[in-house]
Amino acid sequence: MDERQWALVRCLADGQFHSGEALARALGLTRSAVWKMLHNIAATLGLALQAERGRGYRLAQPLELLDAALIAADLSAVGRARLQRLAIHPVIDSTNSELMRLAAAGAPSGSVCLAERQTAGRGRRGRDWVSPFGANLYASLLWRYPFAPTHLGGASLAVGVVLADTLRELGATGLALKWPNDLLWQQRKLAGLLLEVAGESQGPCYLVVGLGLNLRMTDAQGSAIDQPWTSLDVVLGERQIGRNQLVARLLDRLFDALDRYERDGLASVLDRWRVYDAYLGQPVQVQIGERVMIGIAAGIAADGSLVVDTPDGRRMFQSGEVSLRPVDR
């Protein structure tokens, strides 16, 4: 997306009508060029565009675009000090991929990458992450640690607790965490995490925390998702929060949690994770490659491993390529 296209989206984000003449004047283009650009943007970004003779053009639904100044203003003083870089992209391949590239080039701890749309968003185990424009939150955060990457095995659980606690403070109820990286509401996926680690075998290392949180996604936008899902607007009902305010609140909590993880590891959030455990005491299916095991979910161990009681005894599983799902009764 070039600068003029991005400027046009910002003009239309308020959901009000804008005449072709006014848009052409603002962008330094002809009305014909504006018309072509409008239809190109609508098709490329999946935005519903309305046109009325004598009134002009508008988006069918207004957008609250991400804004670095608004996010910084809503951060706490400590959060602003911890935030070293904040990049917001209209369109990007993947916020995690971008931040991993920047981390390898020396980007500092506290770097954050946000996007309105991802063209190659990634979930765990190589799955695509559906990322429509302006509908959700796609965010990645870089944090550096002095120790070996092996110490970060439970980091996804710690981040999951932060996410659940933050949304609970906003009024969300009925939230549950699915080991190791999904946030559910009424058995529907609300958010997912993708944590990637790199560094020296004995340290130091760096962690990129990727978060995809459904905010106001329509059925049409989410039609490619192959599992039950929901959005935060449904979960919160009348208790809504702006995207920029939500980003600031999450960053404050994540900065604190990632800093605390260096000192305390997973120990400080184990009890909180168990409160949210989606499948504790329930029959589950664990799949590793072609192998499938059935058992009763028995929670998580001190190192974040999944614990399952099987007919052959108690088993523990690291995340890796493990897939966990409930057994239909």
The annotation status of 124 as a binding-site residue, yes or no, is yes
CA distance 315 to 318: 10
Catalytic residue among 117, 124, 178, 243: 124
To the query of whether residue 314 is one of the catalytic residues in this protein, the response is: no
Neighbouring-strand partners of residue 194: 210
To the query of whether residue 243 is one of the catalytic residues in this protein, the response is: no
Q: Fill in the DSSP letter of residue 277.
A: B
Total count of residues recorded for the chain: 329
The annotation status of 94 as a binding-site residue, yes or no, is yes
Cβ within 8 Å of residue 131, ≥6 positions away: 115, 117, 118, 119, 121, 138, 212
Catalytic residue among 117, 178, 189, 253: 189
| Bond preceding residue 180 cis, omega within 30 of 0 | yes
Largest Cα separation within the chain, whole Å, is 74
Tell me if residue 283 falls in helix, strand or coil: strand
The annotation status of 320 as a binding-site residue, yes or no, is no
The annotation status of 44 as a binding-site residue, yes or no, is no
CA distance 217 to 232: 9
To the query of whether residue 253 is one of the catalytic residues in this protein, the response is: no
The annotation status of 53 as a binding-site residue, yes or no, is no
Q: Are strands 49-52 and 136-145 parallel, antiparallel or unpaired?
A: unpaired
CA distance 317 to 297: 11
| Bond preceding residue 204 cis, omega within 30 of 0 | yes
The annotation status of 118 as a binding-site residue, yes or no, is yes
The annotation status of 123 as a binding-site residue, yes or no, is yes
State the binding site: 94-96, 118, 122-124, 189
Active site residues per annotation: 124, 189, 325
The binding site for biotin consists of: 94-96, 118, 122-124, 189
